[in-house]
Homo-oligomer: A and B are copies of this chain.
Amino acid sequence: MHSATVLDSDLSARAKIREAALGLFGRSGFGVSLRTVARAAGFSPGLVVHHFGSKDGLRAAVDASVLTLCLERFEILPKDLPADRLARAMADSLSDVLGSSADIRQYLRRCLLDETPAGTTIFDELVAATRRGLMLLERAGGIRADTDPEWRPFQVLSVILGPLLMEPVMQRNIGEPAYAPDAVRRRTAANLDVLSRGLFTTAAVGRDGPTP
């Protein structure tokens, strides 16, 4: 199915080490020692340096693999998609990446904090893509005119990325695994629904300006 599901025995030593590092760095941060990564992958510490040059080299390799995995899903999106389908296509594409591996989700959450080059690239790319999509949608008349154009992309991204960023919280507060395929499906539908029709009835929130 996905590269994350291949058996460990099928991977080269280099790839095994990189996968182990992906999991450990994501779970416990970049402070994890080279020895721990090497032990988890089943090799000696020296081999890690042999293959990646240094600990920073290892991190860069993990970053690069996550980066390409994430971006290639977006590059295969048909560029001439009609605006009314773009939102769902993007949501599906993202769900596909995120649903594939818990390690990658954890690593992405950490990228958000540590501001490694790969992390900034991925998330900035998401912002740019969302912005592009919304502008297309706007030209097609699909967006309410009285909403803030500069702020819209982040509102959409909040709804879409919320489950990723809050996955540990959700895991503790709902029964089902947050990224079970079925949960993702229902969530995607609910999110598109909120973005198109809102959650509250208009009576619930006053239409006056916000409180400072």
Partner-B contacts on A (CB < 8 A): 29-31, 83-85, 87-88, 92, 106, 109-110, 112-115, 120, 123-124, 127, 137, 140-144, 147-148, 150-152, 154-159, 161-163, 165-166, 168-170, 172-174, 181, 185-206, 209-212
Interface residues of chain A: helix, strand, loop or mixed (majority): helix
The smallest C-beta distance from A116 to any residue of chain B, in angstroms, reads 11
Q: Are A166 and B154 in contact (CB under 8 A)?
A: yes
Which one of B31, B84, B85, B165 contacts A29 once the chains associate, using CB atoms below 8 Å?
B31
Q: Are B155 and A194 in contact (CB under 8 A)?
A: yes
Task: Count this chain's copies in the assembly.
Answer: 2
Known contacts A155-B191, A161-B162, A195-B200; 5 further A-B pairs (Cβ under 8 A): A29-B29, A127-B169, A150-B174, A162-B162, A194-B195
Nearest B residue (CB) for A87:
B205
Q: Are B144 and A201 in contact (CB under 8 A)?
A: yes
